[in-house]
Amino acid sequence: MESAEQYLLAIDEDPERAAGIAKDTAKRLENKELILLSLTKSLGEYLTNDDGIIRAKATGFYAAVLTFLPPTLLSPAQVSVITQFLCDRLEDEAGLKEVTQGLFAVAGMARFQPEDAIMIAKSLFKSCDLMKHPQGTRHLVYQLLDKLMLERRSALKQIGSNFATGFVELVTNEKDPRNLMIVFSHLNVIIVEFDISDCEEVVLDACFCYFPITFKQPPNDPYGITAKDLKDRLKDCLQASGKFAVYLFPQLLEKLDSHSTNTKRDVLQTITACALSYGKNTIANYSSMLWDAIKYEILNASDDGLALEALEAIRAISRSLSSKLINVTKGSSLDRYLRTVTKECLAQLRNPTAKQAKPSASIIAAVSAASAVAHATTFQTVIPGLMTIYDGLEEVAKQRSMLQAMIPLFDATAEVYGVWGKVELPPSPENSLEPFKDKLFEIYSKALMGASKGEVSFRLAGLAGLTKMSRIRNFLADNEIGLIIQFFDEVILTEEKDQLRDFALESLMMLSRLKPSLIMEVTFPAFMAKLPDKEEGEKAYDMTLAALAQLSVERPVFQVLLTRIFNKLNIVLRNKSGPRYPFALVSSILYVLRTKNDLGKDISTHYERIVPELLTRTITPLSDGSGGDALSHEAVLEVTGNIVNLILRVMGAERQAEVLKELFKLFVTREPSAMITVDKELIAQRFNPLEQGTSPQQACTIIIFTSAVAAMRGEVPLPSENLQQFLDRLFVLAQFPYSPGHRRSLLRLIAIIINKYLSAPADREFLAASTDAMWASIKSASCADAAFNLPALFWIAKALALRNDKLAEPIVGRLLELLDDEGLGVTVGRGFEVLLSDDPLLSKENYAVVRLLSKQKLFVYCIPKLTEGFRAASPAAKRNYLHALSNIIRNVPSKLVLAEINTLMPLLLQSLDLPDPAIKVASIDTLAVTVTEATDLVSEHISSLITRLLAASSPSDVNTVRVRTAALRCLSIFPSALNIVTVIPYKRQIMRALLKALDDPKRSVRKEAVDCRARWFALGELKDDD
Amino acid sequence: MTDIINANPTILNASDLPTRQSQSRKKQSSAAHIADRISRLPPSRTLLYDPFAGAAGEDSAYDSGTDDDNEDEGTAEDIDEQEIYDLISTISDPEHPLSLGELAVINLPHIHVTHGTPTPENPTPMSHVLVEITPTINHCSLATVIGLGVRVRLEQALPPRFRIDVKIREGTHQSTDQVNKQLNDKERVAAACENDTLMGVLSNMLATCK
């Protein structure tokens, strides 16, 4: 059997074998066992067969053999003959795919000649009716053309404009996005490099017929072609030749009248691209026509996004016309264009409160930002015009609108001439806003400082104008900016309106980056002088401190701030202040440190300056027998602790170890410590916070110690010889705390030490024994007060559970048992908050051992026991279970709750009947998530849910504002989250019931009721048809 | 509505529209928010809160806890003109992407709320709200639609004890009487609400209500 016949038989059954046959044949040709002619001849009968499929297969065999031939085997003549042969086969529609494969192989031959390429292109154009074939075949043809375009472009160019027309005809009606991606890139090359002189319109039409692209990427699209890809390629074609302008612009503008936002956007983006690439002379001919059409999109904009695109287009034209111009040139195309634009815009600005005034000003800004020449040309006419209009305005409202309208002009100027602080700008040309500087400075200053206090938006306009002007590079002098900063200072220090103050502060922050020295010279002294010397109520200092803190992020400024704050603290404490003002002063340091840390700056460098200083100031007054001063108030201790924690946390292990040693000396072993800067020996004698019999104030400083220990990296060892003994000491102290805060920091300290340091087998035995002992004491306790070890158990369990320690579960199991206990159940229920909440100190950021899924594990352990216990519990104890549950779900991700929601739903519903606002809010919040995430389950319970939520929305002692708000908010999710069939039966009931909530005594609740009712009202009403 | 009746109306600045002076500054201002964070002592509830200690004692040195979460439950807040304004000023104009407040169609001074005096027999007496709207131009044919929108919004959002009157402000429209008659005729309003096209326009206007 001949190989051709074998191939034809095999190709359908076993393509691999068929390929093998072709490969063999190729080998035989290579070894001269077979000659090309006889191969062609052997195919003869098949190639003339009546059945198209057989003809195609035969060609396929031929193509396959060619593919396997070494590229250097055939002589130029042979290549030509084969090309000719295959090109002739193109007339047979049946085998296009196979012929193309063959041609692809031939085109890869070493001796493939330019003439052959020309022959292929011409034959394709002549014989191929491409659109009759499936997408895959067409794709092959495009790939063949792609290869020729890439490797034989100069040959193809010889075909002349026939190539362009031929190609256009070939691809007409192509619709597949994958193919279009190739077609567009071919068209682009043709437009740029080929001769299209007598067929421009045809080529353009071939591109433009796809405009606008309406393709939507199908879901799970395997080819990954987006509408944007197609749009970009098409845009590249359209912008490729300025000769298109004459045909393209009228058609584009016609499409601009479309109602579709997408079409409009595409048109505007295409115009922008063309304006930038067609060249000045072309654009000059169309600028006024384009302007006339595009301006409507800005002046009557209904869509801000479109207006921005239109502004871009207007600006691109200005930019294009600016090219090669250095000076303002009367009569230039730019001059003519800008003259038209500015004339119309100025006319609109005559009435600055009208709707089209603001867009007009944006247009002026856009055209002037295009280049320095455009800027100069525009501003020379516009600014004097605007000044004349402004002088004629009498109403404040109009003046205000005018000042606001002009602000984009300053932005445009900053864009052309740059802002302060950037170094690498070339020397800028004369700023054409310069001549109007004094006048502008005057009217904006007057607006800010001269207007009456009530004219907020007028003054805001003044403020915004001054801000924008002060950032333009080399525009205002330093003393003028200094004056502006003084204005802003005054606004911040005296202004009652938050909006103005916020803006002024933002401006100062901007200037503190561009002109830091001016802020230090002008603002700091003014603000510092404003801080009172003793506590006078927070109004006297809060804004000033907040402003200072926000301005002090830069290092030198912060140094100044620290000095000033510490000095102020001295004075304030000497004046026997309460805790508020010192709290605020210390907090402002914390605020700056946090901000700096968030910005990625190294704050550990501030250690020397801050940590020993604060500790000495806090502890020294406690050691002279008096009760200490405001710095040892718990709230201030917390802030100090946070500062210490934040600074220590970012230190390396070595430095941490050094610091920790000194801290232990101070707090634990009572040795002279480097933490104390004055009288260390005296302090060592008198300061004993961790000993029984110490003063309550000294004991509370443990808050700082705990925060510091929390910051240690796991590899930093605690400088204590026997940790177990140290813990025992803490256990005892925690049994009889001086205050809740004192207990919390002791327990936290215990938890931190256990979590990070006690994981050796011996240590875990110690822990098991300790908790067993605690448990025994709790079991024998008669009331909550006697069960003084209960809190410790919760914290120990927390520390262990975080690192997925097996010891945790038995402890938690015991605690769960206690929920049935009459005396302790309530406390235990509340305690679950400790167990699962995120602790600020026992956290990953503080290097605590927090294993993946630890919360999940605990949750999964607790929930079945809770639900089981709940079912068996007495009515009184049920409440404790619900309380525990509420504390648990409040503190775990809602995803976890949803996984168990089937079990939990009955409990959640019952908890809505409890007279406890906190539980109710937690349950409703959980339900709110459930409504969107577990629709089936909610649909099942919908009736009882709606009844309970409606009940929770009417005011009572239990249904606090928060409960009512949560209930209404939850109800308002139903209509959009659930199937309409499920919810619509309740519409009437709810619409009626909500009438009551509309009359709620509290305004915020009424607001929720209105929104909720509107959502239910819309349910089932006719929808918009868009 | 292809022809725009008033293409270039006067608009107010959003920051000039009347708003309720919020007692809590936090919501409005970032500077004030930071100032609060820095200078306000944490409320005693958070500092002294201890799940194991039962009810925490109040420490006079702490703030007594006047933050947002702890809104005073007791005092009732009556529905007032500003609240009505907030309900309707965010309705969109049918021909501009602007709100009725920004177009000064709705103005705070032109809203009047009167409450009846509660008596033991009738603890919730009827209240009355009158809204006068100002069309942007005096031949505005959309005045009726706007009025209807205001009316529908108020009917949905106010408790049933309110009587609602929506009128065109005297002297701001050439056919004030006619429009007023339409707006306050119950049957005509009901008939209008059956008209699908009209309701479509209305629901677009009301979609922006905040």
By residue count, chain B amounts to: 210
Residue B158: its chain A contacts at CB < 8 A? 998
Question: With helix as H, strand as E and coil as C, how does A190-248 read?
Answer: HHHHCCCCCCHHHHHHHHHCCCCCCCCCCCCCCCCCCHHHHHHHHHHHHCCCHHHHHHH
**Alpha carbon separation from B199 to A366, A705, A1007, B167 (Å, rounded):** 40, 67, 23, 20
Contact (CB<8Å) B161/A999: yes
Q: Taking the domains of chain B in order of start, what are their residue ranges? A: 29-70, 76-206
> B76-206 has which fold?
GMP Synthetase; Chain A, domain 3 (3.30.300)
Q: Pick from B29, B41, B52: which is nearest to A499 by CB?
A: B29
A138 touches chain B (CB under 8 A): no
Helix (H, G, I), strand (E, B) or coil at A360: helix
Residue A827: its chain B contacts at CB < 8 A? 51-52, 54
Beta strand pairing call for B111-115 and B162-168: unpaired
Which is nearest to A306 in space by CA: A245, A353, A256? A256
Helix (DSSP H) and strand (DSSP E) numbers for chain B: 7, 3
Q: Which residues numbered 823-852 in A keep a CB inside 8 Å of some CB on B?
A: 827, 830-831, 833-834
A674 touches chain B (CB under 8 A): no
pLDDT at B57: 37
Token representation of residue A576 = 């026997």
Phi-psi group of A625: left, alpha or beta (phi > 0 → left; psi -120 to 50 → alpha; rest → beta): left
B36 touches chain A (CB under 8 A): yes
CA dihedral B49, B53, B57, B59 (to 10 degrees): -50
Q: Which residues numbered 561-580 in A keep a CB inside 8 Å of some CB on B?
A: 578-580
pLDDT at A877: 87
Buried b (16+ CB within 10 A) or exposed e, A562-582: bebbbebbeebbeeebbbbbb
By CB atoms closer than 10 A (0-12, 13-18, 19+), residue A713 is middle
pLDDT at A957: 85
pLDDT at B203: 84
| Amino acid residing at A563 | T
A1024 touches chain B (CB under 8 A): yes
Residue A1013: its chain B contacts at CB < 8 A? 156-157
Mean pLDDT estimate for chain A: 89
* CB pairs < 8 Å spanning A and B: 162
Count Cβ atoms below 10 Å from residue A213 Cβ, excluding itself.
20
* CB-CB contact of A163 with A201 (8 Å): no
pLDDT at A425: 59
Query: Which residue is associated with the tokens 């929305």?
Result: A953
A926 touches chain B (CB under 8 A): no
Smallest CA–CA distance, residue B178 to chain A, in Å, is 29
pTM exceeds 0.80, yes or no: no
Which is nearest to A243 in space by CA: A186, A309, A171, A194? A194
Task: Return d(Cα A242, Cα A159) in angstroms, integer.
Answer: 23
Contact (CB<8Å) A1003/B83: yes
Token representation of residue A605 = 């460098």
Residue B124: its chain A contacts at CB < 8 A? 999
Q: Roughly how many angstroms between the first and final C-alpha of chain A, as a whole number?
A: 67
Which residue in chain A has the smallest CA separation from B103?
A: A355
Which is nearest to A301 in space by CA: B135, B7, B146, B143? B7
Cis status, amide bond into A15, omega within 30 of 0: no
Contact (CB<8Å) B35/A542: yes
Task: Return d(Cα A947, Cα A986) in angstroms, integer.
Answer: 10
Smallest CA–CA distance, residue A791 to chain B, in Å, is 7
* CB-CB contact of A290 with A271 (8 Å): yes
pLDDT digits (tens, 9 = 90+) for A39-89: 888 888 888 888 888 888 888 888 998 999 998 888 999 999 999 999 998
Contact (CB<8Å) A999/B124: yes
DSSP A579-637: SHHHHHHHHHHHHHHHHHHHTT---GGGHHHHHHHHHHHHHGGGGGSS---GGGSHHHH
By residue count, chain A amounts to: 1026
Spell out the residues 6+ positions from residue B204 whose beta carbon is closer than 8 angstroms to its own.
A1024, B92, B94
Contact (CB<8Å) A543/B15: no
The upper half-sphere exposure of residue A1002, i.e. CA atoms within 13 Å in the direction of its Cβ, equals 20
pLDDT at A926: 85
Contact (CB<8Å) A545/B39: yes
Q: Pick from A543, A833, A1003: which is nearest to B51 by CB?
A: A833
Smallest CA–CA distance, residue B72 to chain A, in Å, is 9
**Alpha carbon separation from A479 to A373, A482, A486, A528, B1 (Å, rounded):** 29, 5, 10, 21, 56
Q: Pick from A400, A502, A542: which is nearest to B39 by CB?
A: A542
Q: Pick from B47, B49, B76: which is nearest to A1001 by CB?
A: B76
Residue B97: its chain A contacts at CB < 8 A? 302-303
Contact (CB<8Å) A741/B36: no
Smallest CA–CA distance, residue B196 to chain A, in Å, is 8
Q: Pick from A492, A634, A961: which is nearest to B73 by CB?
A: A961
Query: Which residue is associated with the tokens 């002098």?
Result: A477
Q: Which residues numbered 956-975 in A keep a CB inside 8 Å of some CB on B?
A: 960-962
E strands within B37-126? 111-115
Contact (CB<8Å) B50/A740: yes
Torsional sign, CA A813, A814, A818, A824: negative
10-residue mean pLDDT profile of chain A (1026 residues): values are 78 85 88 84 83 88 90 90 91 88 91 92 90 91 93 90 92 91 94 90 92 86 87 93 92 91 93 94 94 92 88 95 86 93 93 90 94 91 92 89 93 89 64 89 92 85 94 89 93 80 89 85 90 80 86 86 91 87 92 92 93 93 78 91 95 95 94 90 90 89 96 93 93 90 93 94 94 90 76 94 93 92 86 90 94 91 92 87 88 86 88 86 86 85 91 89 92 89 90 91 91 87 49
Contact (CB<8Å) B29/A502: yes
Q: Taking the domains of chain A in order of start, what are their residue ranges? A: 893-1018
Smallest CA–CA distance, residue A215 to chain B, in Å, is 28
ipTM: 0.85
Helices (H), A803-893: 808-817, 825-836, 854-872, 875-890
Task: Return d(Cα A856, Cα A860) in angstroms, integer.
Answer: 6
Contact (CB<8Å) A355/B8: yes
Low-confidence ranges of chain B (pLDDT < 50): 1-2, 23-28, 54-71
Task: Return d(Cα B183, Cα B154) in angstroms, integer.
Answer: 13
pLDDT digits (tens, 9 = 90+) for A153-202: 999 999 988 999 999 999 999 989 999 999 999 999 999 999 888 889 99
Helix (H, G, I), strand (E, B) or coil at A73: coil
Spell out the residues 6+ positions from residue A621 whose beta carbon is closer than 8 angstroms to its own.
A628, A629, A631, A632
Smallest CA–CA distance, residue B19 to chain A, in Å, is 13
Contact (CB<8Å) A587/B38: yes
Which residue in chain B has the smallest CA separation from A1023?
A: B200
Count Cβ atoms below 10 Å from residue A33 Cβ, excluding itself.
9
Residue B8: its chain A contacts at CB < 8 A? 354-356
